[in-house]
Structure 1
Amino acid sequence: MKYAFPDNFWWGSASSALQTEGTREGETTWDYWFAREPNRFHNGVGPQHTSTFYQHWKTDIQLLKQLNHNSFRTSISWARLIPDGIGEVNPEAVDFYNQVIDELNEQGITPFITLFHFDMPMAMQEIGGWENRDVVDAYARYAQICFALFGDRVLHWFTFNEPIVPVEGGYLYDFHYPNVVDFRRAATVAYNTVLAHALAVRAYRAGHYAGEIGIVLNLTPSYPRSQNPADVKAAHIADLMFNRSFLDPVLRGEYPADLVALLKAYDQLPACNPEDSALIAEGKIDLLGVNYYQPRRVKCRDSAVNPQAPFMPEWFFDNYEMPGRKMNPYRGWEIYEPGIYDILINLRDNYGNPRCFISENGMGVENEQRFIENGQINDQYRIDFISGHLAWLHKGIREGCNCLGYHMWTFIDNWSWCNAYKNRYGFIQLDLDTQQRTIKKSGEWFAATSLNNSFER
């Protein structure tokens, strides 16, 4: 069957500053944490070099062109642009980002730019990070500076990438710095992130720029084990906490009443100011980026909660392993292609069918050198993964969903937080010793799909 996509569909990939650029002048939380606990990082590999985009940006953009990208998302590093988060702007960073943006536009590749992709300047974390409203104000200033510097040539802005992840990783489950386990502090971080987002949107609107502003959310559809009311309630609460805690504020301008009631009942609400609700209402977006990797399957709890344990989302549900599920064993994630369709239908039916696009979707595989044939990685498994998701995305578009594009994670194999280079995601293989780039079979497939605006399956 042939799957043809709408005219002007966005074909491309996504990356981030910290995961690709390499060493910067300003220290981030990742630099600080790695220096103190390198054992927390796979094979002791930190963020110093990543995929050296800072040195190879021009030839890398040529590779994007070779892959027939018409769009590409990356981020600006707050710590590179303003090393201490609040002070002087680094002119070398301005030159670098100007060159990248200009070259992308010159090559006919539309830049999509994210302002924050997990890389908090350490100077900002030292005063409390997103728990401190002074950091919220500093971020708003940083956003305004970016709009003023680059807003004449960047027409698609995103305030945050996956803002739930620093909440989960840094304040609930101990997989990001500052390694806190405290739900109330997590709720404060999430809430203040929404305020920071809304301030950036306000600044963008005030500047009357020609483009649009949005946010990128990783949406994990919550599926109950069964239609038993207890399972359905468990899935609803998981959805409230992990999806709607950001989705509702940015699309509806307010929080779900049942989420607020739940947190209030357990005395977990963050501190709110009277003027916050009007600000949050101003944060409604023009464009939603959807990152989709895996579903969330839950069931009601089988056991009572330990009253001495820290309050956690899992007080309300247990994770559920669906029999016969398809897995990516390297990442430990379920592969469930219809989830991408379910997300789009939910947006269509419950959120007014907003303008959106798939901003990340990808498959990380360990030791891909096993699959080298005639000097090239034959990653047919990645082609199958992408085409399977695109088929369900296509069905959503046919049924009226307002999805404008598909970006794969990622372009070149890059450094991936605590996993470092354990799993590879790229269309292009990166040799860590030589920094040589080699296009994989999936890159050739994607280039043809983008060129034809269609594929057959």
Structure 2
Amino acid sequence: MIKFPEGFLWGAAASAPQTEGHSLTNGKAPTTWDEWFKLNPEKFNNGQGPQNTSNVYEMYQEDVRNMPKVGLNSYRTSISWARLLPDGKTLNQEAVKFYRDYFQAMLDNQIEPIINLFHFDMPWWLMEKGGWENRESVADFAFYAKTAFEQFGDLVKTWATFNEPLVHIECGYLYQFHYPAIVDFKKAVQVGYHTLIAHEYAVREFRRSGIEGRIGIILNVLPAYSRSESVEDIKAKEAADLLNTYSFLDPAVLGTIPEKLIELLSYNQLLPDTQVDDKKIIAENTVDFIGLNYYQPRRVKAPSKVHHPAQMPSDLYESYDWPDKKINPYRGWEIYPKALYDVAIMMRDQYHNIPWFVSENGMGVADEERFKDDNGVINDQYRIDFMKEHLEYLHKGIEAGSNCFGYHVWTYVDCWSWLNGYRNRYGLYSVDLDNGYQRTMKKSGLWFKQLSNNNGF
């Protein structure tokens, strides 16, 4: 029997834009997703936009009541900035009531709410001013954070500022999967820097608020794996780590931006605009914990062609297709559970063994209706096997002394996933989009209940 530490958090993660629905009603202002869907609906899988998603806005009470049935003792979701402050300044009282009722329902069912402030859902009013390209976004986000702490700080004790900030940076400004879908490495770095400073300002607002609790950030972080030990491949690995891992993890935990990252950006004429007191703010506002999302490893090799200054990250490192990989064919992602052990050791050795948890880990599969048994239950044994394999390596990391306090699966009920819509399903519960968003527990939900009850498997 593999046993986890006492008090371990067994939970699931989701986000406001991917679950709530009611995206342009009940006082909520549009986000970039609402506007992009209006402008280019053809980009979205099967015309599935952000307007309804999983209808949690109406069904949250039922969802929360069902959480103990799959063993959840904690749940991470986000607040919609555009719902709480539709114009950036004015409080939407209906939103306040919705979130307070939602969080209180969790507490009433012995579910710890872990609440994230930003999950890729930039309010359109801010995007029209340049979004994260504009330094004003830092003050706007700080005001939003302060408002959230004031309105919900009596209910929520565990906060996160951003979910996977690297995703909205690279998908919006390098790879065209998020709005504004442009390709500009220099802008991407500036957006990243302003996101980092916005995080620091939000942490400062939390400290000033005096509310009880802890604050962190959710990062998609893992050490890169190089093709070989050649000088060129190791240099590529270092660049990948600096840009994708240390860029947020070092300032968040250690209070400094790595000098090697600054040198790399300077050499490639990519340094962002900064302000005089930024360094002090970064040093003074480190986090209490880190959430780490893990789905697939990052394998890299030396770039085949190099532009100087770099025009894209591929001028610094390229992806390497490891021939021995195991793959999830639906998502096209490699399955490599050992990385969770490597991450655990990295947190232990490089980051003062700060408390951390697996804030997302999951497996997306298409057309899961194929796997229904005679009782109408989706037999997703593949998802159970996926979780077991990852938990075995996580447990080894904990046994080696890494300070991990929880594991959250993505996700609780099947959710909408940006341009992919509902193409791949991840939930412990399925959602029937054609039948009133009816929820049905999958086999993985039954297994997760046993996992939680036994605090291991």
CA drift of 1:23 comes to 1.9
Map Cα deviations across residues 141-174 of structure 1 (whole Å, 9 max, x no partner): 0100000111111000000000000110111111
What does 1:248-327 align with in structure 2 at a 5 Å threshold?
Answer: 248-302=250-304, 304-305=305-306, 311-327=311-327
1:341 counterpart SS class: helix
The answer as to whether partners of 1:428 and 1:437 remain within 8 angstroms in 2 is yes
Greater mean alpha carbon deviation, residues 331-340 or residues 277-286: 277-286
2:434 is aligned with what amino acid? D
Report the alpha carbon displacement of residue 283 of structure 1 after superposing the two structures with TM. Answer: 2.5
How far did residue 310 of structure 1 move?
7.0
Q: 1-side partners of 2:306 and 2:298: how far apart? A: 21
Secondary structure of the residue aligned to 1:167 is helix
Count of matched residue positions in the alignment of Structure 1 and Structure 2:
451
**AA paired with 1:253?**
G
Could you give the per-residue CA deviations for residues 224-260 of structure 1, whole angstroms, max 9, x where no partner exists?
0011111111111011111111111101111111110
Query: 1:47-92 CA distances to partner (integer Å, 9 max, x unpaired)?
Result: 11000000000000011121121100000000010112x2211000
Taking the aligned partners of 2:310 and 2:176, their CA distance within structure 1 comes to 13
Once the two structures are superposed, the pairs formed by residues 28-107 of structure 1 within 5 Å of their partners are: 28-84=31-87, 86-107=88-109
Residues 107-153 of structure 1: CA distance to partner in whole angstroms, max 9, x if unpaired?
10000000001001000000010111212101100100000111111
Match of 1:232 among 229, 234, 241: 234
TM-score, with structure 2 as normaliser: 0.97
Does the 8 Å CA contact 1:201/1:282 hold for their aligned counterparts? no
Specify the SS of the correspondent of 1:119: coil
In the alignment, which residue of structure 2 is the partner of 1:194? 196
Report the aligned-residue RMSD.
1.0
Q: Is the 8 A contact 1:197 1:283 kept in 2?
A: no
CA distance in 2, matches of 1:118, 1:301: 29
Q: Give the letter aligned to residue 109 of structure 1.
A: I
Asked whether 1:394 is paired with 2:377, we answer: no
Q: Any conservation in 2 of the 1:156–1:213 contact (CA below 8 Å)?
A: yes
| Whole-Å separation in 2 of the counterparts to 1:5 and 1:318 | 37
Instruction: Provide the C-alpha distance between the structure 2 equivalents of 1:296 and 1:398, rounded to a whole number of angstroms.
Output: 25
Residue type at the aligned position of 2:393: W
Distance 2:89 2:402 in 1: 43
> After the TM superposition, which residues 115-264 of structure 1 pair with which residues of structure 2 at under 5 Å, given as runs?
115-264=117-266
Q: Which residue of 2 aligns with 1:10?
A: 9
- Residue 438 of structure 1 pairs with residue 437 of structure 2: no
Stretch deviating more after TM superposition (68-77 or 220-229): 220-229
CA deviations 1:401-456 (Å, max 9, x no partner) are 0000000000000000111000000000110011110000000000110011110x
**Paired letter, 2:79:** I
Matched, 1:328 2:355: no
Give secondary structure in 2 for the equivalent of 1:376.
coil
Q: How does 1:356-435 map to 2 (within 5 A)?
A: 356-374=356-374, 375-434=376-435, 435=437
1: CA distance, partners of 2:338 / 2:236: 21
Query: CA–CA distance in 2 between the matches of 1:26 and 1:4?
Result: 46
Measured in 2, the distance between the counterparts of 1:282 and 1:49 equals: 41
What whole-Å deviation, never above 9, does each CA across 1:346-367 have from its counterpart, x for those lacking one? Answer: 1111111110000000000000
After alignment, is 46-55 or 17-26 more displaced?
Answer: 17-26
**Unaligned residue ranges in structure 1 (runs of 5+):** none
Identity among equivalent positions (%) equals 51
Aligned mates of 1:239, 1:362 — CA distance in 2: 23
Q: Which moved more, 1:235-244 or 1:355-364?
A: 235-244
SS at match of 1:210: coil
Q: Which runs of 5+ in 2 are unaligned?
A: none
Residue pair 1:428, 1:438 contacting (<8 A) in 2 also? yes
> Do the aligned residues in 2 keep the contact of 1:83 with 1:90 (CA within 8 Å)?
yes
Query: How far does residue 221 in structure 1 lie from its aligned partner after superposition?
Result: 2.4
Q: How far apart are the structure 2 equivalents of 1:355 and 1:313? A: 31
Q: Please state how far the C-alpha of 1:39 moved relative to its aligned partner.
A: 1.2
Q: CA deviation at 1:208?
A: 1.4
**Cα distance 1:263–1:447, how it changes in 2: closer, same or farther (>3 A)?**
same
Deviations 1:151-207 (A, max 9, x none): 111000000000000110111111100011111111111001111111111111111
Instruction: Give the letter aligned to residue 211 of structure 2.
Output: Y
Q: Is the 8 A contact 2:268 2:310 kept in 1?
A: no
One-letter amino acid matched to 1:12: G
C-alpha distance in 1 between matches for 2:306 and 2:440: 51
**DSSP 3-state at the match of 2:122:** coil
Give 1:43 deviation, angstroms.
1.1
CA distance in 1, matches of 2:403, 2:207: 23
Q: Which SS does the other structure have where 1:214 is aligned?
A: strand
How far off is 1:282 after superposition? 2.2
- For residues 259 and 306 of structure 1, what CA distance do their matches in structure 2 show? 18
Please give the alpha-carbon distance, in whole angstroms, between the structure 2 residues aligned to 1:131 and 1:252: 25
- How big is the shift at 1:317? 1.6
TM-score by length of 1: 0.97
Instruction: Flag as ranges the 4+ runs of structure 1 deviating above 6 A.
Output: none
Write out aligned runs for 1:107-118 (5 A).
107-118=109-120
Amino acid across the alignment from 1:32: E
Q: In structure 1, what is the Cα distance between the partners aligned to 2:70 and 2:55?
A: 19
**AA aligned opposite 1:319:** S
CA shift, 1:305, in A, is: 2.8
Deviations 1:244-301 (A, max 9, x none): 1111110111111111001111111000111110011123100100000010101112
Give the C-alpha shift of residue 306 in structure 1.
5.2
**Structure 1 residue 344: deviation in Å?**
0.9
Code of the aligned partner of 1:55? E
Q: Partner of 2:20 in structure 1?
A: 21
